[in-house]
Copies of this chain bind each other. A is one copy, B any other.
C-alpha cells in the first residue's frame, strides 16, 4: 500500500458536505490516484475519506489541500498520511440488491456504515436507494435499515417514562401543531423530548418556527438537562448527533422528490428511536402527500409494523389534509398562531387538531378520555404555563406576545372580488407563494389567511395578506399570481374574479 506524509493546507472553501482534498497532480499519479478517486486521509488513530482534486501548479508537491467541510468536522493536525482506498464490499451488496436479490441485515449495516463514512460515492449510494424500486424492502430489510441508521449515531436515554413523541408526514401549510401538543402533554406530567426538522420544500418546519421563539440547537447533554428540568424540549434535530446518516440518505432520496416508502419509514422511526421515544403518534394528513384513504391506511399499517419490530408502540391518526390549517403560513406568522392558541385566542382549526393529537397521546400514556384532559390543560392555562417553562429553558422570552413577533414590512392584501362561500385553497400554490416571499429563511415572510378554509367572505373583504422583505419579492409573487389568474386548482379554487 502506497502512503505518503503531507503538510496540511486548510482551504476556507465549503463544498457542501462532500469531503474534498487536493494533491499535486504528479504526486497523485505516482500514488496511482486519479482526480475524482476517493482517498483515505489519516493520522494517529483517526481518518476520513475524501474525494480527490488535483492541480499541476496550484498545489505544491508534499502538500494536501483540505477543504473546510473536512477540517471543520475533524481536528486535522499539521501533517497527515494519504492512501488510496479499495472498493468496499458493500458495492457488491448494493449490486446484488439492485438485481433483485434480498440482502442480509449485516450487509445493510455495512452499506449504511459505508455511506456514513464516505466510503461509497454518491452514485454508488444512489443505487442502494434505487434498489428499493426494483424490489420493495422486506420487513426484515426495513428493520435492518432502521437499526443501521440508529446505530450510526447516538441514542438519547431519559429517566422515567413513558417517553412520548409525535411526527407528521407533512404537506399541510400552517399545520404547526407540535409546539402546542408538546406543552399540553408535558403539562400532564409526561416526558416529550421532541426533535424536529427545518423545512426543505415547505414554508416552515417546526424547528424554523421555534427558532423565532427560542434557541433550538442543543448538544445531547443540554437537551437531556432541559427535559429533566421541564419535562419536554422543542429542539432542532439537526443540532444533535441522532441518526446523522439520515441526512446523507436524504440527499439521495430528495432530488427526485420521491421516496421509497421503506426509506421514509426508516428515516422517521430511526430518529424517534434514537431520541428515546417509546410511544409515537404519527399524523398522516389525507389529501396532502398521501392522496387516497387506502394509501394512508397502508402507510399506517407499515408504520405500526416497523414500530413494533423496533419495540416502539406506534399509533397513527389519519387527519384532514386537503386544506391549510391556522391563519399564519411562515415561521413568524405560525409562531404567532401558536402563542395565541396557547392563550386561548388562536385559530379554531389549529386548536382542534392539537386537542385531537394531544388527547390521543395522553391516552397512549394511559389516561382516559384524553381529548377532555387535553382541553382542560389548554383551557386552564396549564399548557401555556408549561410552554413558557420550555421557552425559558431554551433561552427564549417566555412572556413574548403574538404582536411582539416581527413580520416583514412589505405587505399586500388580496381582496375578494365577489362574495365567496365555503372558500378552498390550493396548498401547493400557498406553499409556492410563501417560498417566493422568502420563507423559511426570512422568518417574517409568509401569508396570513384572514378567511379560514370552508368559511365565507363578502366582496371586497380581505382574503389574505402577504408579507415580504422587499418590493422585489412581493412583485415577483404578484406576477406569479397573475399567471395563475387566481384559479389555484381545478377543484380547490380561490375565487377572486
Interface residues of A (CB under 8 A from B): 11-18, 22, 25, 29, 32, 34-36, 51-59, 65, 67-68, 91, 94-95, 98-100, 121-124, 126-127, 130-131, 133-134, 251-252, 255-258, 441
Q: Which of B13, B32, B53, B95 contacts A59 (CB 8 A)?
A: B13
* Cβ-defined contact, B133 with A99, below 8 A: yes
A34 vs B440: C-alpha distance in the bound complex, in angstroms? 14
Residues of B within 8 A of A25 (CB): 14
* Cβ-defined contact, A56 with B133, below 8 A: no
* Cβ-defined contact, B11 with A258, below 8 A: no
Q: Which of B126, B131, B133 contacts A123 (CB 8 A)?
A: B126
Residues of B within 8 A of A12 (CB): 55-58
Chain copies in the assembled complex: 2
Closest to A15 in B: B53
* Cβ-defined contact, B13 with A54, below 8 A: yes
| Interface residue SS majority, chain A | mixed
A-B contact pairs, 7 of them (CB 8 A): A13-B59, A13-B65, A32-B441, A55-B68, A99-B258, A123-B251, A131-B133
Closest to A100 in B: B133
A11 vs B53: C-alpha distance in the bound complex, in angstroms? 12
In angstroms, how far is the closest chain B Cβ from the Cβ of A22? 6
Most chain-B Cβ atoms within 10 A of its Cβ — which of A91, A124, A130? A130
A251 vs B36: C-alpha distance in the bound complex, in angstroms? 11
Residues of B within 8 A of A65 (CB): 13
Q: A11-B58, A133-B98 are in contact. Are A16 and B53 (CB under 8 A)?
A: yes
Residues of B within 8 A of A130 (CB): 98, 126-127, 130-131, 133-134
Residues of B within 8 A of A32 (CB): 441
A91 vs B254: C-alpha distance in the bound complex, in angstroms? 11
In angstroms, how far is the closest chain B Cβ from the Cβ of A173? 20
Residues of B within 8 A of A52 (CB): 16
Q: Which of B18, B54, B127 contacts A14 (CB 8 A)?
A: B54
Closest to A256 in B: B95
In angstroms, how far is the closest chain B Cβ from the Cβ of A43? 23
* Cβ-defined contact, A127 with B53, below 8 A: no
* Cβ-defined contact, A95 with B258, below 8 A: yes
Residues of B within 8 A of A131 (CB): 130, 133
A51 vs B91: C-alpha distance in the bound complex, in angstroms? 26
Q: A25-B14, A34-B16, A133-B134 are in contact. Are A255 and B53 (CB under 8 A)?
A: no
Closest to A98 in B: B133
* Cβ-defined contact, B124 with A123, below 8 A: no
In angstroms, how far is the closest chain B Cβ from the Cβ of A42? 20
Closest to A56 in B: B12
A312 vs B17: C-alpha distance in the bound complex, in angstroms? 47
